[in-house]
Structure 1
Amino acid sequence: MGVISVDVTKDGRRVVATSIDSHIRIWDLENNGELLKTITAAPIEAWAVTFSPDGEHIATSSHNGDIHIFSIETGEKVNTFTTKEKFLLSVTYSPDGKYVAGGAEDGAIYVFNIETNQLAHTLTGHAMPVRSLTFASDSKTLISSSDDKCIHVYDVEHGQLASTLTGHTDWVLCVAANPDISKQQVASCGSDKRIKIWDLALRTVLETHEVHTDQVWGIAWNAEGTKIVSCSDDKSLKWYASSGSS
């Protein structure tokens, strides 16, 4: 059945996907796409999925508000972080592996400290579902996108909303932080068919791309932080050079 979420390890060697059929599948990209492991999750247990920075675990969000951690080696569930039983549409790890965060349908964001197994912060501010989450490379800044047309930038260490970025005219479906920390950029895309690149320091839009003819559901940077790729309901993938790149 339909594929819901896909992620790739930092080294680019493995890919994981979740599906409506309640299976989590992991493939080897270096060995002709060989299927390495299939993990059977309970119904509605695995929605969004993300690899841990070391590639040894995956985290999934769920309909019942839990974040589940699975071991890549054994396929076993090794931990569960519980929230307030609201559907978590998004999940992400911090680059340093200290935090895992989930965004809920009621606009709340839950940040858990993996080292202590405790809830570090419940972040509020969004009025509608949180579609996407991404940590900046410093692991101290968490960026979220929501159906309320806003992008929020949070200070994770202090659990505070640092700024709100506005400019999209419809649901903001995905955000992705530039892996090059020196640039302090985040890319966003949404139901308004637009892609925007933001300067987090200046809290302003650097550029806007209007090249898709339908909703833009996903966006990602290359490892160097010089290019982005987007995917859309118009059945296309499009590549761009980011601001300041050739």
Structure 2
Amino acid sequence: MPTTYIPTIVNDNAHSDGIWDVAWSKNTNYVATGSSDATVKLWDGSSGELKHELTGHALGVISVDASSDGKQDQLRDDHVGLASTSIDSTIKIWDLENNGALIRTVTASAAQAWTARFSPDGQYLAAGSHDGSICLYDVASGEKAQSLPTKDKFLMCTAYSPDGKYLAGGAEDGSIYVFDIETNQLAHTLTAHAMAVRTLSFAADSRTLISGCDDKYVHVYDVSHGQIASALAGHNGWVLKVAANPDISKQQVASASSDKKIKVWDLGMRSVLETQEVHTDQVWGLAWNPEGTKFVSVSDDMSIKWFASSGSS
């Protein structure tokens, strides 16, 4: 089988401790990494060069996420925002078009802000909480605007559909809750997993939801009908991250695992396209570039690995 994605750049010792998440900004071409060393770093998405180091968190950074476009007047001068969450019980919002300057710090107990994801319009941050609710924070004010309750189980991850219609949360008991944003009502509860759901990602069609779980499976759901479409087996450890390729024509999702492996799956064929074994410790994060031609991975081995499709530059 020909290699679809080839390793290109390697940043060893990119942080002084394990790297827990990564995001690729659509507008600034920054790749942002968050580490248990309590820093966020911004890297050039083309060269892999370190551009800025953002400090201010007191403890490890759990998640990072970049806003979808440059139209967020909730930030500053229509600039692109980056949100980071930390064990220190804060969410920090940084300005990616101003060298990562700090815009705002939101104080939220770690129980109320584990991982945070921007809504597609950039107005809200959705954070999973220990009490089983999804907390929505207003980006402009930093205040909690709303709480969407589930079943009192720790929500480890959240994901918005690209069209903004759905917001999903994955829980420690294996349940996935899908809310209709227009009505703020629970649309579906998906229960195919039996262990903790650590990661969620919507495909570009906004109807396909992919999950990764401690049961070692990647599940694919049809959210419009609330049904599982396929269960993908192949990892030998917890699935820590899934990331759908933003190029809808490719029908691909990448997954990362505690087994130190990265897999790229063909959703149409329901099979593995390739497996990358380039990390020496568990792989926590993955992120695609906006075109879906490159992706990056981060790991407890403190490195960043860059991959490009054979036809991209």
Q: Is residue 2:78 matched to residue 1:11?
A: no
Q: State the Cα distance separating 1:133 from its structure 2 match.
A: 0.1
> In the comparison of the two structures, how many residue pairs are matched?
246
SS of the residue 2:177 aligns to: strand
Paired amino acid for 1:7:
D
Q: Is residue 2:274 matched to residue 1:207?
A: yes
- Kept after mapping to 2: 8 A contact 1:50/1:58: yes
Q: Any runs of at least 4 consecutive aligned residues in structure 1 with deviations exceeding 4 A, and if so which?
A: 243-246
Question: 2:196 matched to which residue of 1?
Answer: 129
Q: Which moved more, 1:34-43 or 1:183-192?
A: 34-43
Normalised TM-score (structure 1): 0.97
Question: 2:212 matched to which residue of 1?
Answer: 145
Identity of aligned residues (%): 67
Deviations 1:191-228 (A, max 9, x none): 11110100001001111111111100111100100011
Question: 2 CA distance for matches of 1:42 and 1:197?
Answer: 35
Question: Structure 2 residue aligned with 1:97, among 164, 177, 185?
Answer: 164
Counting only pairs closer than 5 Å after superposition, residues 44-63 of structure 1 correspond to structure 2 as 44-63=111-130
Question: 1 CA distance for matches of 2:217 and 2:109?
Answer: 33
Question: 2:232 matched to which residue of 1?
Answer: 165
Coordinate RMSD, CA, aligned: 1.2
Paired amino acid for 1:141:
T
Q: State the Cα distance separating 1:245 from its structure 2 match.
A: 4.4
Question: Structure 2 residue aligned with 1:111, among 178, 190, 196?
Answer: 178
Q: State the Cα distance separating 1:244 from its structure 2 match.
A: 5.6
Question: 2 CA distance for matches of 1:244 and 1:120?
Answer: 40
Paired amino acid for 1:26:
I
Gaps of 5+ in 1: none
Paired amino acid for 2:257:
G
Q: Is residue 2:141 matched to residue 1:74?
A: yes
Paired amino acid for 2:191:
T
Gaps of 5+ in 2: 1-58, 71-79
Paired amino acid for 2:287:
A
SS of the residue 2:114 aligns to: coil
Q: State the Cα distance separating 1:11 from its structure 2 match.
A: 2.7
Q: Structure with the greater relative contact order (CA < 8 A, sep ≥ 6): 1 or 2? A: 2
Q: State the Cα distance separating 1:243 from its structure 2 match.
A: 6.4
Normalised TM-score (structure 2): 0.77
